[in-house]
């Protein structure tokens, strides 16, 4: 079945460091890919998405590119802030589907 | 536009007690979901609904029941709570048939079963 694998955390960075959180997926068909973010004490919220190969999703300085050849959707940010400390979930929905398949989540700590 | 709301926000139960968690959405979404989130376990789907009057089992349905009598509401029931049901519960909703159906989440209910 469809699945999402993301790097284990926690990831600890200093402020202004470069961030990469790896995500790879297994799916039949042509899924849409998502990154969700969960701030402490809150529910998940959509950070960015990409619906077809080579699309780049971006929001709040975060970017991820849909790479079909490597089945990846890695999250990147050039300069993290303390306020980016959160749990990040990679996810997919397969073509014609509605249920979201979530990765296990990666916790990010950013130190001042 | 409140999005997805959940009540209550916190609850403490004794083993064997029952309770109902209420989820409401005002986005006219067809699909609604209940998840539980435990430390180190990510999100696990309990039950979901594809429309008013329908429900279906997810990944971890045992010990829970759900109802979707109105399109905007999705109720999660625990008939006889157990300590293993201590968790944070999230409700989510999403729109109609589309290949990029983002989910909208509520703020969560933190449940402790003693």
The confidence score (pLDDT) of residue B36 equals 96
Distance from the Cα of A98 to chain B's closest Cα (Å) equals 6
Contacts of B108 in chain A (CB under 8 A): 41-43
Chunked mean pLDDT (size 10), chain A, 112 residues: 91 97 92 95 94 95 97 97 97 84 95 96
B44 touches chain A (CB under 8 A): no
A43 → closest Cβ in B31, B94, B108: B108
Contacts of B32 (CB under 8 A, 6+ apart): B23, B25, B48, B49, B68, B74, B91, B92, B93
Does B96 score more than 70 pLDDT? Answer: no
Does B98 score more than 60 pLDDT? Answer: no
Cα–Cα distance measured from residue A52 to residue A67, given in angstroms and rounded to the nearest whole number: 9
Distance of CA A84 to the CA centre of its chain: 13
The confidence score (pLDDT) of residue B2 equals 80
> Which residue has 């067809």 as its token pair?
B30
**Higher model confidence: residue B96 or residue A82?**
A82
Mean pLDDT of B93-101: 69
Mean pLDDT of B90-101: 76
Indicate the helix (H) or strand (E) that contains A63: strand A62-65
A66's tokens: 């849909």
When mean pLDDT is compared across A31-35, A68-72, B49-53, B99-103, the lowest value belongs to B99-103
A49 → closest Cβ in B97, B100, B107: B100
B100 → closest Cβ in A32, A42, A103: A32
Q: Pick the closest to residue B3 from B19, B34, B25 (CA basis).
A: B25
Contacts of B33 in chain A (CB under 8 A): 99
Percent of chain B topping pLDDT 90: 86
Does B49 score more than 60 pLDDT? Answer: yes
Mean pLDDT of B41-55: 92
Burial of B87 (0-12, 13-18, 19+ CB in 10 A): buried
Contacts of B68 (CB under 8 A, 6+ apart): B32, B49, B51, B52, B53, B54, B55, B74, B75
Phi and psi for A111 in degrees, rounded to 5? -95, 140
Asked if the Cβ–Cβ distance from B103 to A44 is below 8 Å, we say yes
The confidence score (pLDDT) of residue B99 equals 45
Q: For residue B101, what is the nearest residue in chain A, using CA coordinates?
A: A98
Cα–Cα distance measured from residue B49 to residue B66, given in angstroms and rounded to the nearest whole number: 9
């Amino acid at each position: 079945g469809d699945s999402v694998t993301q790097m284990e955390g926690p990831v600890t960075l200093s402020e202004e460091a470069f961030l990469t959180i790896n995500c790879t997926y297994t799916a039949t068909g042509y899924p849409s890919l998502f990154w969700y973010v969960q701030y402490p004490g809150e529910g998940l919220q959509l950070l960015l998405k990409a619906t077809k190969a080579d699309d780049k999703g971006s929001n709040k300085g975060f970017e991820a590119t849909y790479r079909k050849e490597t089945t990846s959707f890695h999250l990147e940010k050039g300069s993290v802030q303390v306020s980016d400390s959160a749990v990040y979930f990679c996810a997919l929905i397969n073509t014609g589907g509605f249920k979201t398949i979530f990765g296990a989540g990666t916790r990010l700590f950013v130190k001042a | 536009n409140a999005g997805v709301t959940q009540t209550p926000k916190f609850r403490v139960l004794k083993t064997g007690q029952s309770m109902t968690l209420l989820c409401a959405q005002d986005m006219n979404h067809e699909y609604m979901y209940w998840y539980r989130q435990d430390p180190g376990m990510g999100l696990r789907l309990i039950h979901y609904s594809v429309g008013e009057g329908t429900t279906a089992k997810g990944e971890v349905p045992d010990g829970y029941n759900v109802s979707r009598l109105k399109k905007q509401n999705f109720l999660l029931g625990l008939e006889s709570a157990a300590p293993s049901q201590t968790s944070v519960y999230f409700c989510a909703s999403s729109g109609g048939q589309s290949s990029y159906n983002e989910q909208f989440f509520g703020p969560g209910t933190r449940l402790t079963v003693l």
